[in-house]
Structure 1
Amino acid sequence: MMTNSIHERLYRTDLASFTKFAFHELSPQYDLSTSWPVDVMADALQGCLDRGTNRLILNAPPRSLKSHCAAIAMVVFALGWDPTLKITVVAGTRALAAELQRRALALMRTPRCRALFPHLRPTVTPGEIVLPHGGGILYRAVGQSLIGRGADLIVIDDPIAPHRAQDNAQREGINAWYDAEIVPRLNDKAGGAIVLVMQRVHEDDLTAHVRKSGVWTEVVLPAIALADEVWPLHRRRTVMRRKGEPLLPDREGKEILIAILHEIDAYNFRAQYLQQPSAAPGLQRVGLFWEPRPPGWQPGMPTGGGAFRKVREINFILNEVFGMGEPPPYAGASPYSDAEWEAAAILQQRRLVAEAKGDRSRHDAPGH
């Protein structure tokens, strides 16, 4: 039972505090050492409950507690405040949907949570938690029909696995399923809320698809800051993160992130950990530059008769994100886009090949 009334009031009224409370209730063996990402995500989720945020995207790396924040803590907290709410949680697989139901139910049944919200007396069936007041949580997997079931709040959690995102038919099918099944399920089309929680997996994934409507609030938390970040939180401090600072330094510092980059390669790392999916696996940056470069050469200067070389994307990330190695000679001050560099480099490569063939022809000609 709880004896500290200040903490009890915080857990009942503040989602960030309740989210940390829920983590310790469900995982007492783990230490939540870096908690500011929870504050940022919970503050955004609180907006869906009481500040009129109707569409919210949370993009964050694997194992960063985004599912705990949105699909477990928030839904229990919301029902604690209003047990008549109808909530739908949709997960990428049936197994994940069942796990989210199991953990939400376990939280409701802990003695401390029951002391906070004694009216949460759930009746459980496979795929559903029902409360005596009429509210509850419906659990489904992506692709399943939701016909006949309305919701005041919908949470979509990791709708597609990274390896399946490379299948155009599966990816486009999920985007079409969202259009057909999700928005129509809201009981209040103007006031109902949809939360999309996922790591990026493809440049045309569900995050990219829903962004086209232009009405979404976004919280994007890369595993390492790509620029200085400022997160002003309602009724609490402003959180700041400097460029180059890891999201979870105690668990995934720079050395571990670099090891992950080498292990999963640049394409997967850029999508899942940096939340910036690139156009295609195996992307390589290309450029035209002097080799060797003349004295005083700077990025973006004309290259004249320079050479052609491709730079591996993994090396580009190491320099761009982690400050390691030599920058590509066309980075930073270059006025050209990657596509322009690619086109120019191909022309340069053809010219060099043609020149080399011409030299050989001259040397092979009679009299040489």
Structure 2
Amino acid sequence: MMTNSIHERLYRTDLASFTKFAFHELSPQYDLSTGWPVDVMADALQGCLDRGTKRLILNAPPRSLESHCAAIAMVVFALGWDPTLKITVVAGTRALAVELQRRALALMRTPRCRALFPHLRPTVTPGEIVLPHGGGILYRAVGQSLIGRGADLIVIDDPIAPHRAQDDAERAGVNAWYDAEIVPRLNDKAGGVIVLVMQRVHKDDLTAHVRKSGVWTEVVLPAIALNDEAWRLHHRRPILRRKGEPLLPDREGKATLIAVLHEIGAYNFRAQVPTATIAGAGARARGLVLGTTAARLAVGMPIGGAFRKIREIDTILFEVFGVGEPPPYASEAPYGDAEWEARAIIQQQRLVAEAQADRHRQEA
């Protein structure tokens, strides 16, 4: 049993401390190592419980403990505060929903957690944890109906897999499901809380979709910092992260991330570095030979290469890791996508005109 100590008081009142406590309770064989990302995520999540944050997005690469922070530690902590709360956790798959329920239940049943919150006496059915005070957690998968079930807090965890996000119909289906099923399920439309936890998987994924519908607080933790970052947390010292620093240096340092980039390719790697800068760089690299519209102009036209084709991996290696030579566009003024496309069209039109002129001269 746990004695009445400063640690016990912290675990009961501070979500970051409880989140680390919960990790060690559930996974004592693992070292949490660098804990500052947990502090950042937990601070934002605590804002949903006591500082008035109603909509929160957490974007982080896979295996960054974002699910543990939001869908396990926070929901148990919230019920420890108020066992009448009705919480819904929605996962991208039924298997993930089952696993999240299993881990939350395991945490509630550990002796040390029971000492902290003795009123958490769960009754369990498939897909649901119910408490004697009336609160509990409902677990569902994306796409399942929530008709008849209200919630004070809704957590959405990894709503779509990266490979499914490339299918326009699949992606649109997830976004439509959110509109139809999530906000209407809040018991208090003004005061209810929604937390979206996911890695970025597409420019039109659920993160992009919900941004259009209201004001969201966003915490974005890329796998490696593209700029200096400063995180100002409540009741903790500010956290500084320098450009080029990995998110989890003990587990995924620069060398490991570069190896992952080569193994999974640039497209999938961009989900781990969720920034507009890299998405824009990738688009320019793919369009450096021909923009998409310019490519349509060039069908059937035998044109010599005016541009050197750049691998997107090489662009990311230079812009993120500082490895290799700068791409040709690096010394030019940065363009938005529309201006880049317009310049690509003009350049391609010039190349087409030159090719046609050469052909006419040869025929003459």
Give the structure-1-normalised TM-score. 0.89
Whether 1:102 and 2:102 are equivalent positions in the alignment is: yes
Q: 1:240 to 1:264 in 2, by over 3 A?
A: same
Q: 1:144 to 1:363 in 2, by over 3 A?
A: closer
- Displacement of 1:226 in angstroms is 1.3
Partner of 2:216: 216
**One-letter code of the match for 2:312?**
E
- CA RMSD, 1 decimal: 2.3
Q: Deviations over 1:1-40 (max 9, x none)?
A: 1236111111011000000000000000100011000000
**Structure 2: how far apart are the matches of 1:282 and 1:27?**
43
Structure 2's unaligned 5+ residue stretches are: 291-304
Seq. identity, %? 85
Partner of 1:313: 312
Partner of 1:177: 177
Say whether the 8 Å CA contact 2:87–2:153 is kept in structure 1.
yes
Say whether the 8 Å CA contact 2:37–2:247 is kept in structure 1.
yes
SS of the residue aligned with 1:311? coil
What pairs up with 1:62-211 in 2 under 5 angstroms? 62-211=62-211
Partner of 2:22: 22
Q: 1:332 to 1:208 in 2, by over 3 A?
A: farther
Report which stretch shifted further, 168-177 or 58-67.
168-177
SS of the residue aligned with 2:88? strand
**Structure 2: how far apart are the matches of 1:7 and 1:326?**
51
SS of the residue aligned with 1:196? strand
- Displacement of 1:331 in angstroms is 2.1
Whether 1:340 and 2:342 are equivalent positions in the alignment is: no
* Higher helix residue share: 2
Q: Deviations over 1:198-256 (max 9, x none)?
A: 00111111000000023100000000011111110011111111111100000011111
**One-letter code of the match for 1:286?**
L
Say whether the 8 Å CA contact 1:98–1:127 is kept in structure 2.
yes
**One-letter code of the match for 2:45?**
L
Partner of 2:263: 263
Say whether the 8 Å CA contact 1:75–1:87 is kept in structure 2.
yes
Q: 1:267 to 1:281 in 2, by over 3 A?
A: farther
**One-letter code of the match for 1:132?**
P
**One-letter code of the match for 1:310?**
K
Partner of 2:60: 60
Partner of 1:297: none
Say whether the 8 Å CA contact 2:285–2:315 is kept in structure 1.
no
SS of the residue aligned with 2:162? coil
**Structure 2: how far apart are the matches of 1:356 and 1:168?**
37
SS of the residue aligned with 1:247? coil
Say whether the 8 Å CA contact 2:285–2:310 is kept in structure 1.
no
Q: 1:167 to 1:335 in 2, by over 3 A?
A: closer
Partner of 1:291: none
Report which stretch shifted further, 233-242 or 96-105.
233-242
Q: 1:281 to 1:243 in 2, by over 3 A?
A: closer
Partner of 2:233: 233
**Structure 2: how far apart are the matches of 1:188 and 1:338?**
40
Q: 1:338 to 1:308 in 2, by over 3 A?
A: farther
**Structure 1: how far apart are the matches of 2:178 and 2:198?**
14
- Displacement of 1:258 in angstroms is 0.8
Say whether the 8 Å CA contact 1:307–1:348 is kept in structure 2.
no
Give the structure-2-normalised TM-score. 0.90
**One-letter code of the match for 2:121?**
R
SS of the residue aligned with 1:310? coil
How many corresponding residue pairs? 348
**Structure 2: how far apart are the matches of 1:155 and 1:117?**
22
SS of the residue aligned with 1:148? coil
Whether 1:330 and 2:329 are equivalent positions in the alignment is: yes
**One-letter code of the match for 1:284?**
R
Say whether the 8 Å CA contact 1:308–1:349 is kept in structure 2.
no
**Structure 2: how far apart are the matches of 1:258 and 1:61?**
15
Structure 1's unaligned 5+ residue stretches are: 289-305
Higher-Rg member (1/2):
1
Say whether the 8 Å CA contact 2:60–2:223 is kept in structure 1.
yes
Report which stretch shifted further, 314-323 or 19-28.
314-323
Partner of 1:302: none
Partner of 2:296: none
Q: 1:156 to 1:320 in 2, by over 3 A?
A: same
Say whether the 8 Å CA contact 1:265–1:314 is kept in structure 2.
yes
Q: Deviations over 1:172-201 (max 9, x none)?
A: 111111111111111111111000000011
Residue of structure 1 aligned with 2:288, choices 286, 289, 299: 286
**One-letter code of the match for 1:101?**
Q
**Structure 2: how far apart are the matches of 1:64 and 1:221?**
9
- Displacement of 1:359 in angstroms is 5.1
- Displacement of 1:286 in angstroms is 1.3
Say whether the 8 Å CA contact 1:59–1:200 is kept in structure 2.
yes
- Displacement of 1:353 in angstroms is 5.8
- Displacement of 1:281 in angstroms is 9.0
